[in-house]
């Protein structure tokens, strides 16, 4: 069995209050021969100082990336890394001490695995012991929660793809697709997403495998600002924008996107009214409907001014999406 090396990468932007714990969780890994890279993505807080305090450990490296954007930072981390496997941990997450070992084992045992990610639990902010009444279990997954059970399983449905906060790829696969798409992934305060879903679609289409690894456990800190309805509405809007772009790069751009978005908008509004007396279901469907407005607005912008070169010419059925 060929030996593989692994690099852990934290891409960070103005999260100095959480970053130290994330780095420390990587320094405490049971796997010995690892590389840890912190990519400082144009931070203006104390990020550099937080990393500096730990640079006496030879496993840790610091890289500054001035171009703002998560995908840009991830690509910089990948280019810097020496490992065969790239394991990405969010700057506000904490990895269990066997996180890297569990991920590496999957790649060692199966050369066809391109992507693997683990279970994610939530760490509520001080004074909060449970989610608010208006927050459904499905919406809570938007905070990073991810649990497909206690057994390793193949991911064949892209909507079940591993969370980006606990995420790994085989470097040869990432290189073969040209890295992360710079048009997807968070940039500053916007909440663009879907880069992992898109990557899973590409991997499966090319004959690779995507895995869920429950032992690769990480916990995600829920910032107090994310327990406000406005954050979920904003996230849903950007989710709609992201989904529109993902369809376009899959070759699905066109007037039919307006029909899809319109149908989903009507369904979301209908269910918002239907569950008027059930706070969690009502708000979940309201955010769903609001996300369709983001989707439709993005479609209209594309139709008014399409790109000079379409990203793809091959048709591909869009991922199904439905309200609760």
Same-domain status, 163 and 271:
no
CA–CA dist 130, 253 (Å, integer): 41
Per-residue pLDDT at 92: 96
Q: Tell me whether residue 312 is in a domain.
A: no
Q: Which of 176, 208, 226 is the last residue of a domain?
A: 226
Query: Are the C-beta atoms of residues 12 and 47 closer than 8 Å to each other?
Result: yes
Least confident stretch, 18-32, 137-151, 295-309 = 295-309
* R_g over Cα of the chain: 20
Query: Are the C-beta atoms of residues 144 and 162 closer than 8 Å to each other?
Result: no
Per-residue pLDDT at 310: 41
Per-residue pLDDT at 40: 97
- What count of residues does the chain have? 324
Closest CA to 95 of 39, 168, 182: 168
Is pLDDT at 305 greater than 90 in this prediction?
A: no
Question: Which CATH number is 93's domain given?
Answer: 3.90.550.10
The mean pLDDT of 288-307, rounded to a whole number, is 86
Q: Which of 226, 243, 271 is the last residue of a domain?
A: 226
Q: How many CA atoms lie within 13 A of 5 on its CB side?
A: 8
CA–CA dist 48, 29 (Å, integer): 22
Give the contacts of 122 (CB within 8 A, at least 6 positions apart). 140, 143, 144, 145, 219, 220, 222
Is pLDDT at 247 greater than 50 in this prediction?
A: yes
Same-domain status, 69 and 174:
yes
pLDDT 10s digits, 48-92 = 999 999 999 999 999 999 999 898 999 999 999 999 999 999 999
Residue-range definition of the domain harbouring residue 38: 6-226
Is pLDDT at 29 greater than 70 in this prediction?
A: yes
Q: Tell me whether residue 26 is in a domain.
A: yes
Pairing of strands 85-89, 6-12: parallel
Per-residue pLDDT at 187: 54
Per-residue pLDDT at 248: 76
Q: Which residue has better confidence, 183 or 47?
A: 47
Same-domain status, 88 and 109:
yes
Band the pLDDT of 139: cuts 50, 70, 90: confident
Query: Are the C-beta atoms of residues 62 and 35 closer than 8 Å to each other?
Result: no
Same-domain status, 217 and 235:
no
Q: Tell me whether residue 311 is in a domain.
A: no
Is pLDDT at 298 greater than 50 in this prediction?
A: yes
Same-domain status, 199 and 55:
yes
Q: Tell me whether residue 107 is in a domain.
A: yes
Q: Tell me whether residue 258 is in a domain.
A: yes
Per-residue pLDDT at 130: 78
Beta-ladder partners of 86? 7, 169
Same-domain status, 203 and 247:
no
Q: Which of 175, 195, 226 is the last residue of a domain?
A: 226
pTM of the model: 0.80
Beta-ladder partners of 43? none
Mean pLDDT of the chain: 88
Same-domain status, 79 and 218:
yes
The domain tally of the chain equals: 2
Expressed in angstroms, the distance from the first to the final Cα of the chain is: 46
Per-residue pLDDT at 32: 85
Q: Tell me whether residue 247 is in a domain.
A: yes
Using alpha carbons, list the distances in angstroms from residue 265 to 134, 239, 290, 291, 322: 20, 14, 8, 8, 10
pLDDT 10s digits, 191-238 = 444 678 889 989 999 999 999 999 999 999 998 888 889 988 988 888
Q: Which two tokens stand for residue 182?
A: 């710079």
């Amino acid at each position: 069995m060929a030996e593989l090396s692994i690099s852990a990468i934290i891409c960070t932007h103005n999260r100095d209050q959480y970053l130290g714990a994330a780095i420390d969780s990587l320094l405490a890994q049971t796997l010995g021969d690892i590389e840890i890279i912190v990519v400082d993505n144009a931070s203006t807080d104390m990020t550099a100082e937080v990393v500096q305090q730990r640079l006496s450990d030879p496993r840790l490296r610091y890289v500054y990336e001035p171009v703002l954007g998560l995908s840009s930072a991830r690509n910089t981390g990948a280019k810097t890394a020496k490992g065969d496997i790239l394991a990405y941990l969010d700057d506000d997450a904490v990895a269990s001490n066997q996180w890297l070992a569990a991920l590496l084992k999957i790649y060692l045992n199966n050369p066809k695995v391109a992507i693997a990610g683990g279970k994610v639990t939530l760490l509520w902010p001080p004074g909060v012991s449970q989610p608010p009444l208006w927050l459904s279990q499905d919406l809570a997954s938007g905070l990073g929660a991810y649990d497909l059970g206690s057994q390793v399983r193949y991911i064949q449905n892209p909507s079940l793809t591993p969370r980006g906060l606990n995420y790994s790829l085989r470097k040869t696969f990432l290189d073969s697709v040209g890295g992360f798409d710079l048009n997807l992934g968070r940039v500053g305060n916007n909440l663009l997403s879907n880069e992992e879903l898109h990557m899973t679609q590409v991997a499966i289409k090319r004959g690779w495998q995507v895995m869920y690894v429950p032992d690769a456990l990480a916990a995600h800190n829920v910032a107090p600002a994310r327990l406000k309805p406005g954050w979920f509405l904003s996230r849903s809007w950007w989710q709609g924008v992201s989904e529109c772009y993902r369809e376009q790069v899959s070759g699905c751009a066109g007037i039919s996107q307006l029909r899809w978005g319109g149908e989903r908008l009507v369904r979301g509004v209908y269910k918002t009214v239907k569950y008027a007396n059930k706070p969690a279901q009502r708000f979940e469907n309201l955010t769903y409907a609001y996300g369709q407005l983001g989707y439709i607005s993005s479609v209209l912008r594309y139709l008014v001014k399409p790109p000079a070169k379409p990203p793809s010419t091959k048709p591909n059925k869009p991922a199904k999406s439905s309200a609760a």
